[in-house]
Structure 1
């Protein structure tokens, strides 16, 4: 059984950019509208994945992810996605023994930059980089599925 433990933060400033180790363009959409289960299709560079996630329990939730052919992912996004697509560029930024994933959103979510850190336990310690802003792990507005339906540009 897969469990995702993830903390999410706003990003302040551009200080992270000179530490980027890798970047990839992502496009994703959702195949369900169920609040208990999320089924996501993501094209990540030259690969694609189908991901099933359970409801969040604090900063953790069940997660199962499977590789699928990119052509299948494109068809699923075009024909079966129930949400608008979420577009972003993901930057991998190492810091103090962890690798942060910074998402710079495009399209309807342009202007939003989030940092995510996957942990092995809910109480795992980590060092906060200077560019890390407020934590939004528990704010559902920042969940990608909600950004699909209620994009950042439409927030008051």
Structure 2
């Protein structure tokens, strides 16, 4: 069984800047119910279909499968609707952890979120200086919710 234990943080853009090349992500949702989301993602030249369960704390079930890039493009264009999340992902090591920093584009432009996967919910985590605020418990920052209610539409 696949478990994702992940914490999310806003990034202070005055303290963080991209290093190296990021990977462009384009993703949409075949289903975005509260109990289960089904995501299609293009990540550079790779493509994935991901099923995620409801979040409990910072843990949820996650199953991810590689799919043909051509299939992902059809699914995104024909079944995911016009609301597609676009972002560039950068990876940066800090301490013992690999952080994934997402710089959002389009209707979520201006939003930068860092995610880090943990081995346990109570794992002690050293935070980089560019981490501003934890948003793990704020569902507005889930990508499936950013698709429905983009960052730039928030009051």
How much does 1:128 deviate? 0.7
Please, what TM-score do these two structures have when normalized by structure 1?
0.95
CA–CA distance in structure 2, aligned partners of residues 17 and 99 of structure 1? 16
Matches within 5 A, 1:5-154: 5-17=5-17, 20=19, 23-82=22-81, 84-154=83-153
Aligned length: 155
The runs of 5 or more residues in structure 2 that have no matched partner are: none
| Superposed CA RMSD | 1.3
The runs of 5 or more residues in structure 1 that have no matched partner are: none
- Partner of 1:49: helix, strand, or coil? strand
Please, what TM-score do these two structures have when normalized by structure 2?
0.95
- Partner of 1:32: helix, strand, or coil? strand
Give CA deviations for 1:15-68 in whole Å, capped at 9, x if unaligned. Answer: 3326x3551000000001322110000000000000000000010000000000
After TM superposition, where is structure 1 displaced by more than 3 Å over at least 4 residues in a row? none
CA–CA distance in structure 1, aligned partners of residues 97 and 65 of structure 2? 24
- Partner of 2:49: helix, strand, or coil? strand
